Amino acid sequence: GQNIDQPTEMTATEGAIVQINCTYQTSGFNGLFWYQQHAGEAPTFLSYNVLDGLEEKGRFSSFLSRSKGYSYLLLKELQMKDSASYLCAVGDDKIIFGKGTRLHILP
C-alpha cells in the first residue's frame, strides 16, 4: 500500500520563504512529484525528483530523501498568486496523490 502525509494548511507572508513537507510510505518507489492546484482549477506540474537531493527551478525547489521517505517543496519570495494547494504525489506509471497542503499567503 501507499501512504502520503503532508500538512493540511499553512500560512506565510508575501515575500517570505515557506517549506512544505511530505512523508511517504510506498511498496515501491519510482519518483516523487509536486503539483500546484489553484481553487477550482486542475493541478499543474511543478517538479519531479527521482534521485536524492535538491532540484531548483526558479523560486521553487524540491528535495528528496529516499532513505527517509521524505520530500519538501521550498517556495521563495512568496507572491499572492502562490496561494494554492500543493500536492505531493509518488509513483510513475500510476501516481498516488496526497491530500494536499493549502497555502495561504498574507500581504
Partner 1 sequence: DTGVSQNPRHKITKRGQNVTFRCDPISEHNRLYWYRQTLGQGPEFLTYFQNEAQLEKSRLLSDRFSAERPKGSFSTLEIQRTEQGDSAMYLCASSLRASGGVLGNEQFFGPGTRLTVL
The region of 13-21, 61-69, 71-79, 97-105 touching partner 1 under the rule CB under 8 A is 97-105
Cell readout for 35 is 503539483
The answer to whether 66 touches 18, Cβ cutoff 8 Å, is no
- Alpha-carbon distance of 73 to 105, in angstroms, equals 16
The region of 14-22, 56-64, 67-75, 86-94 touching partner 1 under the rule CB under 8 A is 86-94
The answer to whether 65 touches 52, Cβ cutoff 8 Å, is yes
- Closest separation in Å from C-beta 78 to partner 1: 22
> Looking only at residues 30 through 59 of this chain, which bind partner 1 when binding is defined by CB under 8 A?
31, 33, 41-45, 48, 50
Closest CA to 41 of 94, 83, 98, 96: 83
Nearest residue (CB) to partner 1, 13 versus 104: 104
Burial class (CB in 10 A: 0-12, 13-18, 19+), 21: middle
Name which position in 1, 28, 58, 94 contacts partner 1 (CB under 8 A): 94
Q: Which residues bind partner 1 (CB under 8 A)?
A: 4, 31, 33, 41-45, 48, 50, 87, 89, 92-100
